[in-house]
Structure 1
Amino acid sequence: MKDFIYNEMMVHVPLCTSKEAKDILIISDKPESLSAEVARHKEANLKVINCSLGEISSLNDASFDVVISEMSPDEAFFSHVNRVLRKDAQFVTTHPSLDNVEANKSLMKILGKYFKIIMPYSIGGSNTALLASKEYHPTADLILQRADMIDGLKYYNCDVHVASFAMGNYIRKEYLGIIKN
């Protein structure tokens, strides 16, 4: 998979879904490429922290519109992420392959305690990420102007955005009642 596909999909899907994506948090041990993608959004204020529960727990309440995470999550992590997100925020995280059904169901059930919408989406090839949203639906509330006005992208556009949420029937059936859309 081309790295630019991963980076563009991890960043632009939540930023183009959020009504006002101004304050963005990246939780990663290697945030440079993700940070470069966020910089394409001129209105964005970026904060980057390492994959550390201590760093997350020190952040202010309701201070971010979007959190993009590459940290291996657990219940404590999600509690802190929920605390730092605003009431209409987006959260994107990497997760096990959708073929690892039990691990994903467990992860999605935890996310379901905090988010109204939880949907896997393609980030290139057979790789997927999870978008969790407190308010906005990633296909119904896509900001088309923002999605198609980002300069210099190699992969992402509004058509790719919507198409990335298409899942086969076997996934829909396996995750029925777990995926919240």
Structure 2
Amino acid sequence: MKEFIYPEMMVHVPVCTSKNPQNVLIISDNASRLEAEMKKHDEINYKVISCCVDAIRDEVDSSVDVVICEKYDDSAILAHISRVLKDDGQLSISHPSLKEVDANKSLMGILGKYFKVVMPYNLYNGYSALIASKEYHPTADINLHRAEMLDDLNFYNCDVHIAAFAMGNYIRKEYLGIIKN
């Protein structure tokens, strides 16, 4: 995968879906590429924590607009993510390949308990991530101004943002009733 595509899509898709993000939480053990993308949103505060329940347990309830999570140790992290997100918060989370149907259905089922919208989106060349949103829809509520005003991007733009959610019918059928859009 092109090195710049993954961090651009993991950061800018949820940040540009959020109406007015002020605080972003990055959950990662190696967040340097994600941090570099967050710096392009100079008006948004961000914080990085490690991938464990203890690290997120100390975060304040309803204090974060967007969470970017590269991995999670167990489903308890997902409950804490929901707790720290505001009522209109977004989560971008890496996940097993869409080919790993059982693992994804399990993850998406858990996310569906906390979020109104749970959708996979394409990153690049067969790689994908999930966006989970408490309020906004990632294609209907994209902030076009924010998406187009970003500088120094190699891949992401508002057209890529919307196109990333196009899925073939075989994926739609496989995840029918699990994807919430």
TM-score range, shorter chain: over 0.9
Give the C-alpha shift of residue 71 in structure 1. 1.8
Partner residue of 2:32?
A: 32
Partner residue of 1:135?
A: 135
| Contact residue 23 and residue 65 of structure 2 kept, 8 A | yes
Letter in 1 for 2:145: Q
1:170 aligns with 2:170: yes
Note the residue ranges of structure 2 that are not aligned, 5 or more in a row.
none
| Contact residue 94 and residue 129 of structure 2 kept, 8 A | yes
Partner residue of 2:123?
A: 123
Runs of 4+ in 1 over 6 A off after TM superposition: none
Partner residue of 1:146?
A: 146
Q: TM-score, normalised by structure 1?
A: 0.98
Partner residue of 1:99?
A: 99
Give the C-alpha shift of residue 73 in structure 1. 4.8
For residues 56-101 of structure 1, the C-alpha deviation after alignment (integer angstroms, 9 at most, x for no partner) is 0011111100000012353211111111000000001000010111
**Aligned partners of 2:146, 2:165: CA distance in 1, in Å?**
18
State the percentage of identical aligned residues. Answer: 61
| Contact residue 70 and residue 93 of structure 2 kept, 8 A | yes
Over the aligned positions, Cα root-mean-square deviation in angstroms equals 0.7
Q: TM-score, normalised by structure 2?
A: 0.98
**Aligned partners of 2:92, 2:145: CA distance in 1, in Å?**
21
Give the C-alpha shift of residue 24 in structure 1. 0.3
Give the C-alpha shift of residue 124 in structure 1. 1.1
Letter in 2 for 1:21: P
Note the residue ranges of structure 1 that are not aligned, 5 or more in a row.
none
**Aligned partners of 2:164, 2:53: CA distance in 1, in Å?**
30
